[in-house]
Amino acid sequence: MRDLAAHGLGIALLARSVAEAPGPPRAVHGVDPGPQLRPVGLLHRADTSLGAAAQACQAFLAGWSAPREPGSGVA
């Protein structure tokens, strides 16, 4: 896998020890183990009403909040 990625035929997720072993030149990027938070939203036309599934999704999203990191600037 490492050699295929080094030759431009894809990417590979490997242990750092394997990625940094001798072989063809390649770029090695660390994976941040921290939380991966993504904003989630529901958009709909203002001149139409939401169906039952969309209403349930809206209620879920309105009541759900992800853990926040102190100082992240995310409310």
Higher pLDDT pick, 65 / 4 = 4
**Rounded Cα–Cα distance for residues 69 and 75 (Å):** 10
Q: Which amino acid is at 56?
A: A
Residue 12 is predicted with a pLDDT of 81
Overall average pLDDT of the 7-11 stretch: 78
Query: pLDDT tens digit string along 15-74?
Result: 888 888 888 777 888 877 777 677 777 788 889 888 899 889 888 888 876 555 555 555
**Are 24 and 7 a contacting pair, CB within 8 Å?**
yes
